[in-house]
Amino acid sequence: MTANSNLDEHSSEDEPRQEFRNVDRREYLKAIGALGVSGLVGTDSVMAGATGEVTNAGFASALTRYDLTNHGLGNAQTDTPPFMPRLKTHEGRQYYAYWTHAGQLVVTARDLPDGEWERNRTGIEIDARNGHWTPSVGIGPDGHVFLSYNTRDSTIRWRRSTHPEDIGLFGAEREGMTGQNESSVTYLEFTRLLDGTLLAGYRDGQSGAGNWILNRWNPRAEAWEPVHHPLIDGAWNGNEYNSYMWNLVQSDDGMLHYFFCWRETGNVQTNGDLSYARSTDGSETWEKSDGSRYDLPITYGSAEIVDPIPENSNLINQGWASYDPRNNAPHVAYYRDDENDFTQVFHASLDDGEWVTEAATDRTTNVRLGGPGVVASPIGRMGIVVGDDGDVHILTRDFENGSWPLLVEKLDGEWQTSVLYKRNVAWSDVHIDPHRWRTDRVLSFVDHQQNVGDVPWSTHSLLGITDVDVDTLDRTHRSISLSSEKPDELTTYVSTGLANGPVIADGTSFEDTSVALAITETTVPATPVYARAIATIESADGLAAVRVKIDGKHGTTHGESTEVTGEHQTGTTEWTKVTQAFRAGVITAQVASPNKSSVQVSAVNLQLGYHDPTPYENTVAPTRGASE
């Protein structure tokens, strides 16, 4: 079934959809012998071009990516941030919306676990290539698909599908919801509750000065109605703030959980104080974790503090929250600096009425967030889920560790980190499908290599949805340490040398040679990238020096030079780490003559490398299904 690209015509026919019942994942896997003694070993053998056998538990394999398109919008970080959730599962059907490289909005859907993707190429064009123009998807009480887009410090734009559970036809664009407090809207998020109620939350205002608004869809009136205007007020004690909301979570007991941090200005470094509120009645009233009632609206002065994080702590706003299915306790993942000023992935949960916060990683670097607008985040905003056994699974990526998808997990009480597969996803955040996890314990996420800023060379990028069965994933050769010590060994992935004859070094100033390599953050196999130069001289009494020059978005930097002396001698520089956020650049080998004499350099080579901490060569991105 293929959806028509026309918003006003419905060309697809209804098809019967397979239903999947909930099963206890561990008990099922034990019964079929898929779990080893430790519970961490299983099969994840579906690799590029292969197809795995689909079991009745709804899984193709432990790790499978379903490609959507080769032409995703890769230069604006619009498809992976967790705000404005848009990867949704409802009644065995998964929905997603994304922008193409041409700036066209596409709505997709598939029948789980591995149905063909239907596509509606809507004809809607992106207003600005900026991460805040992320689309949002919601499922209404009767199964209609809600779509919001192009909403950034503006009125709300949204549409509703004509038929339930069908993306083939959407109604006309509508502006606004209730007509109140919606003139400067950003981060519109749809949340479907367990009873089918559809909520819409958003910020009205701006970064550092805004309120959080909550609306509810009335299916009888087919209209939005206000619930709290606002739920959270940014004004307090003569100062202005705004709350940045994590995803709204509903645990199995019906409790709603909201985590949020505060920001005082437009600068990300004024983020602080992770806070919490919950509701027992579907969002009408809100309380703290001890059951004491909030006087609404919530303010900075009245909010319950989960983690008292000061400003300038590299706290990233807007991550993911989850809950423990054993006891419905809320869990949240985020990153901030630890007591040593190293930036770590953190985890917090409510345990017997007390908030427990802990670092989940052992990083030894500081990420140095900065500035307003779309922030280049060296650690990806992360998704989090909790298993039936209480194990915590946090999905993220780290620029200092490959920019590969990483699982940071608390298994049997101990934290560990594993590489899912070796695909550089650049500056992408992690966007997961919480309802897919709730229904069948699949960790489903958006795999889309994206950059920050309107960088033309990164417009076309592969976009897919990856499904992970954390119970059968083989972690044997995937486990790594995130400690960023200088690696002893690097993998050289590309090199080049002189094409035409020797070069002459005849001055003390370094001069470019013709030996150069162009690189981009989205074409390197991993980050960070390292470069080194190698030079050979012919003269017995000659003296030459060689170094690397790195030009990129960050400016121009140079590696340490190495001198070469003696007939037929070769000198090799140390590996130079390429500065993060270089975007696109050129790395060049340079030579000089320290003693001002003319020296013939017969060979010059340039190598680029990266650190691979895993011995498992087949940790690649598996794929099923054809992309458009």
pTM of structure: 0.89
pLDDT in tens, 338-350: 999 999 999 999 9
| CB neighbour list of residue 41: distance below 8 Å, 6 or more residues apart | 35, 474, 475, 476
pLDDT in tens, 493-520: 999 999 888 999 988 999 999 999 998 8
The pLDDT of residue 462 is 86
The pLDDT of residue 619 is 58
Lowest-pLDDT choice from 146-150, 197-201, 393-397, 616-620: 616-620
Phi, psi of 170 (to 5 degrees): -115, 150
| CB neighbour list of residue 424: distance below 8 Å, 6 or more residues apart | 402, 403, 404, 449, 521, 522, 524, 525, 526, 527
For the chain, how are helix, strand and coil distributed in percent, rounded to 5? 5, 45, 55
The pLDDT of residue 490 is 92
Token duo for residue 522: 């989205």
The H or E element containing residue 31 is helix 25-31
pLDDT in tens, 400-448: 999 999 999 999 999 999 999 999 998 889 999 999 999 999 999 999 9
Phi, psi of 23 (to 5 degrees): -135, 155
pLDDT in tens, 276-335: 999 999 999 999 999 999 999 999 999 999 999 999 999 999 989 999 999 999 999 999
Pick from 372, 133, 129: nearest CA to 242:
372
